[in-house]
Structure 1
């Protein structure tokens, strides 16, 4: 076939591609297609083969509403113009298809691909050539699953530069896939000012502030939305509970990330640092005698220890800063031992207790005043697990 004829056919296809319908089509992305086809195949003159009908089958896949991939097999029962011998022609190709106006019922498309042809004459050996093709066609959607189609291709041989023409018509059946979601109006079901098709967190409660994705704000980034967060402003990286509050593992009222004395036993009184405080167990200057007013406090410690049978304590004695280090070291040890002896006498096991003196190395308050020195003549308890 002469090149001028090819140009005429391509021109006709371009005119056809300009057509379009105005009714919504049902082209589905992700659908598989099966297309029985019938048509004709026109051989170039110097191939000495007669033009004959072709019969074929195409199997394809729609990547989206525009792009598709299709494999096609055709059979042409032709004959040689030289000797009249029968020649079986087998054509196979893989094509990429691009659909225009894919949301209409009448859909034009362009196609291009590669493949091959095998000629099997009765009186000679087989001959195979590689091919490339381009062209286009029209698809008309009869319903959601059935398409009427027509197709024209210019086919070129790599080996001998033959220019052939193939045309076909048939039906395409769609299996699976889904229609592209069409938003015919902007809907905001939860009233958060982010339209439903953009909203990543649908169902946000009324009045809750959201980010551009439609999700409630989480200002402190603790994983709990602000409207549910009972402890806003949690520092970055601090673990929180489902209410958005920092963890308090030992339940002493001081959050773990602030607790300088973790694992405080249940029922113990703690200071702002989370450390067990023994208020009222103070000593006179240079003395380690336990005052009667301290018995109630120490008895409460006995109760705590009995409620926590696995708990062990280090009893730490302290002094003010008057006197030498060696003197105050012995004095602080005596104070710690005095408290330990009291607890043992009340039934606490000896192996759960230890005593240590810290002299005036760890003042609780300044030693510059008489009141401050009185507060530093004390004992503290450190849980040991």
Structure 2
């Protein structure tokens, strides 16, 4: 009873927490896990055996926390229990609701649901459906992949005989969709602006008039590529404009691209600085995948130091969560000079 009370208290504590960061764990996923199972039955001792499991589900980003649904099936090896040398294993399958509190690439979470726990071997007649619970932490080490550590518990009962089943396991999950972004408000339109510079001053003291070809810098600024709150995932609405950047780079082979990331003003300065750098890196990754040579692209983050809209409004913050791409072209221009 004491252990059960501690588990329930830990689950309740996780379910009651709040956070201010968004998730990179939203979307559909599937995974597998392996670990140590602890099972006992009324009248026999507790033994440990190897446990295996598969699971899958879907997570929704709620703007400060994550909600999910998780279907699973676990199978645990047979083990001899005493007294009486009772040899049995157990299986568990069911459905859990999940609440997570994402922090960048980390996701602590709690699960609560309903599952059927049943024995096999000498305990094949024992089993039933009851509450299933668990806690764990997940780490996203690649856009589509994560690893996790997890504890789950549940039980089944037939008459006066109860079968307890607990698992401590490690797992790996695959997330579908890669860097595709969840549906979001329409981003601010992307604009291309030209900022011409003044032509170089011709040399004084004319002696002889002639024509000379000069190379003139023509800065081009491409703005847009907005993101969700606290996320470095590119929105699908930005792909068309980024593809225009790819066409620009293919047309002007000598042009170098300076990519800068920006955030809104929510959260700490240090966190937003790193987030802006990751946003710039996400755009560079996209351009390189589309064929732009990586050595032509430089990235930098400015956090929330350079807003383009009012951070007091939802629309303004959406515009400030952006990446700007700036390039300087060398344009040939013939001018009349004197020598």
TM-score for the superposition, normalised by structure 1:
0.40
Greater strand share, structure number: 2
Higher RCO, 1 or 2 (CA under 8 Å, sep at least 6)?
2
TM-score by length of 2: 0.45
Q: Say which one has the larger Rg.
A: 1
